[in-house]
Amino acid sequence: MSVQTKRTKLKRFLAFAPLILLFASTLNEFDFNYLNYKYFSFNFPFILIYYWSLKRSESLGYGYIFIASLFNDVVLGFPVGLSGLTYFIICGFAAYLRNITLRPDIVKDWLFFLLTILVATSINYILLTTFFSVNVNYYDLTGNIFFTFLLYYLFSYIFDIYQRFVFKEQTND
């Protein structure tokens, strides 16, 4: 097998990485809580869904996001459909930003991400507390939003590098 074929196969596999990461993160809910830092936690699926809906929406199909949201509801013990609604609000905001953006700018994306997660988490919080009478610690949630917002910049940078490596040839075609 030539080196070129091997490379193409690797890239084809890597093209599925966002989807694999989405399912792994919703099933595992990895947020480094075990480090036991008092207010540190972040929502990786939010970063992933926003970034890929904004930059390359075909990498994460809405159908797959819906299945991942069902998994997340089960893992977290949420009512069925709640994570789905939150994820699709993020997708909607990202799609809107994509439609109105002529020249992409990381800072603008980043600030819009803050607005997006504030709206999505607020809806999630209101539904949980009023509709399902579940208590949620407001301060923890604020910490979660803050760190998710901060880490978006870092992950966005990593995803940009990954995108240049994996999808460069496809974009040039």
Strand ranges (E), 32-143: none
Asked if residues 153 and 50 have their Cβ atoms less than 8 Å apart, the reply is no
Q: Among 106, 62, 111, 110, which residue's Cα sits nearest to residue 87?
A: 62
Report in angstroms how near the CB of residue 131 gets to another protein at its nearest: 6
What six digits make up the tokens of 31? 């947020």
Pick the closer one to another protein by CB: 4 or 36: 36
Report in angstroms how near the CB of residue 159 gets to another protein at its nearest: 18
Pick the closer one to another protein by CB: 1 or 135: 135
Pick the closer one to another protein by CB: 24 or 151: 24
Report in angstroms how near the CB of residue 6 gets to another protein at its nearest: 26
Helical axes 82-100 vs 44-55, angle rounded to 10°:
40
Pick the closer one to another protein by CB: 140 or 160: 140
Contact set with another protein (CB under 8 A)? 23-24, 27-31, 33-36, 38, 41, 57-58, 61-63, 66, 69-71, 74-82, 84-85, 88-89, 91-92, 95-96, 98-100, 127-128, 131-132, 134-137, 140-141, 143-144
Pick the closer one to another protein by CB: 2 or 135: 135
Query: What are the CA-CA distances from residue 148 to residues 41, 93, 165, 172 (Å)?
Result: 8, 16, 25, 32
Report in angstroms how near the CB of residue 160 gets to another protein at its nearest: 20
Report in angstroms how near the CB of residue 126 gets to another protein at its nearest: 12
Classify residue 54 by burial, with Cβ atoms within 10 Å: 0-12, 13-18, 19+: buried
Length of the chain in terms of residues written = 173
